[in-house]
Amino acid sequence: MSRVCDICGKGPTFGNNVSHAHNKTKRVWYPNLQKMRVADSKTGATKRMRVCTRCLRSGFVKKAVTTQPATASA
């Protein structure tokens, strides 16, 4: 499973943890990805995508509308 945004391509960033004694160990920062049902703008179909919260906030994706099944009342 790749941790990459399907919209902007943002992925993990690598760097170092630096202690007070200036010891360095490798570390990773992951983007805040959310699995979403997104409405495709061209076809109108819904598909699941991994979208970073920045793309979500900026309005680059449109959430798919969920329809509730009709309940039968007696």
Task: Give the model confidence (pLDDT) of 4-37 as tens digits.
Answer: 999 999 999 999 999 999 999 999 999 999 999 9
For residue 68, give every residue at least 6 positions away whose Cβ sits within 8 Å of its Cβ, in sequence order, or none.
Answer: none
The answer to whether 64 and 45 are in contact (CB under 8 A) is no
If one looks up domain 13-58 in CATH, what number appears? Answer: 2.30.170.40
Percent of the chain surpassing pLDDT 70: 93
- Which is higher by pLDDT, 5 or 70? 5
Mean pLDDT of 28-56: 90
